[in-house]
């Protein structure tokens, strides 16, 4: 089976990193403010250090793109690149809420080929390898082509819910607030919800792992213009992001993509 060694190293590293995040959540952590005014904690940095040591220690020729590491052009010439969000949902982590996760993808030729998303609070570890399906804690997640409820459950950013941006379609949705986009995509891949949508500007590390999981579960994702997503680009950010599970109504996707797309930030 392809990427067996990478999968083994990744699952071990992400669980070690998750244990460290939980330890710091219990024992305490420092909070810093980044230049963009978003918070980062000493737990984010510790998780990043563990993942970088374990993954690049085993695969030193691979590139590295992480929210909590300085970005360099060296990754652009690497044949494979690890794309990392050490803690997605840092604000939830700070509040000791369970909606945060560690998200890791291995990208090759602009596409994720291996992914893991781990929620240390719940013990849920989603993994995927291209062409080999989605797994939860090592057990295959069965694909489904039908929605589990009359209205699609869709995760939206809190600012977008309050802005009324989705008002033209909101009566057709069961909108839920998301605190971690990576965790929301994993839940969409597993069938717990049906879509994840934002007109904001997510980074590659926010969505790379989840996109592979969604695709392996029969869903799809695109940018705000409806175009396919490519990873390990010079500017690792997308103009909007829309992910839908298999069976999501096509007419509703078209309506949403035609909404005004001016960013709120």
Q: Verify that 132 and 234 share a domain, yes or no.
A: no
Q: Verify that 250 and 210 share a domain, yes or no.
A: yes
Q: Verify that 104 and 170 share a domain, yes or no.
A: no
Region 82-86 average pLDDT? 98
CA-to-CA distance for 171 and 239, rounded, in angstroms?
A: 25
Q: Please state the φ and ψ torsions of residue 18, each to the nearest 5 degrees.
A: -65, -40
Residue in the block written with tokens 């829309």:
242
Q: What is the pLDDT of residue 253?
A: 82
Q: Verify that 14 and 130 share a domain, yes or no.
A: yes
Q: Verify that 14 and 73 share a domain, yes or no.
A: yes
pLDDT, tens digit, 9 for 90 and up, residues 110-134 = 999 999 999 999 999 999 999 999 9
Quick check: is 263 in a domain?
no
CA-to-CA distance for 213 and 117, rounded, in angstroms?
A: 9
* Structural domain that includes position 46: 4-140
Question: Which pTM was predicted?
Answer: 0.94
Into how many domains does the chain fold?
Answer: 2
Long-range contacts of range 75-80, CB-CB < 8 Å, 24 or more positions apart? 75/232, 76/232, 76/234, 78/232, 79/108, 80/106, 80/107, 80/108, 80/113
Q: Verify that 33 and 123 share a domain, yes or no.
A: yes
Mean pLDDT estimate for the chain: 93
Judge whether 214 and 228 are in contact, CB under 8 Å: no
Quick check: is 148 in a domain?
no
Quick check: is 147 in a domain?
no
| Local structure of residue 97 (DSSP, 8 states) | -
pLDDT, tens digit, 9 for 90 and up, residues 225-254 = 899 999 999 999 999 999 999 888 888 888
Q: Strand pairing partners for 63?
A: 81
Q: Verify that 17 and 136 share a domain, yes or no.
A: yes
Q: Verify that 132 and 199 share a domain, yes or no.
A: no
Q: Verify that 10 and 99 share a domain, yes or no.
A: yes
Domain boundary among 83, 105, 140: 140
Closest CA to 54 of 18, 90, 26: 18
Quick check: is 215 in a domain?
yes
Q: Verify that 136 and 189 share a domain, yes or no.
A: no
CATH number at residue 237: 3.40.190.80
Q: Verify that 199 and 175 share a domain, yes or no.
A: yes
Q: Verify that 87 and 165 share a domain, yes or no.
A: no
Give the DSSP per-residue string, 110-135.
TEEEEEEEEETTTTEEEEEETTS-EE
Domain boundary among 106, 140, 174: 140
Quick check: is 212 in a domain?
yes
pLDDT, tens digit, 9 for 90 and up, residues 178-206 = 999 999 999 999 999 999 999 889 999 99
Judge whether 64 and 75 are in contact, CB under 8 Å: yes
CATH number at residue 55: 3.30.540.10
Q: What is the pLDDT of residue 1?
A: 62
Domain boundary among 115, 140, 165: 140
Quick check: is 262 in a domain?
no
């Amino acid at each position: 089976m392809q990427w067996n060694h990478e999968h083994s190293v990744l699952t071990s590293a992400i669980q070690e990193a998750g244990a460290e995040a939980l330890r710091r959540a219990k024992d305490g952590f420092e909070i810093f403010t980044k230049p963009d005014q978003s918070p980062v904690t000493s737990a984010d940095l510790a998780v990043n250090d563990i993942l970088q040591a374990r993954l690049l220690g085993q695969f030193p020729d691979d590139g590295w793109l992480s929210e909590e590491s300085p970005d360099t052009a060296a990754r652009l010439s690497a044949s494979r690149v690890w794309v990392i969000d050490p803690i997605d949902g840092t604000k939830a982590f700070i509040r000791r809420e369970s909606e945060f996760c560690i998200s890791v993808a291995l990208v090759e030729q602009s596409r994720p080929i291996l992914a893991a998303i781990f929620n240390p609070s719940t013990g849920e570890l989603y993994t995927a390898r291209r062409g080999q399906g989605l797994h939860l804690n090592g057990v295959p997640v069965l694909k489904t082509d039908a929605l589990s409820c009359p209205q699609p459950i869709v995760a939206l950013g809190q600012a977008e819910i309050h802005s009324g941006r989705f008002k033209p379609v909101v009566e057709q949705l069961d909108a839920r607030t998301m605190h971690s986009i990576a965790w929301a995509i994993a839940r969409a891949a597993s069938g717990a919800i049906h879509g994840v949508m934002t007109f904001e500007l997510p980074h590659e590390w926010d969505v790379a792992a989840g996109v592979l999981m969604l695709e392996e579960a029969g869903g799809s994702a695109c940018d705000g213009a409806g175009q396919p997503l490519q990873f390990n680009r010079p500017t690792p950010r997308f103009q909007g992001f829309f992910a839908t599970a298999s069976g999501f109504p096509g007419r509703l996707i078209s309506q949403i993509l035609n909404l005004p797309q001016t960013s709120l930030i």
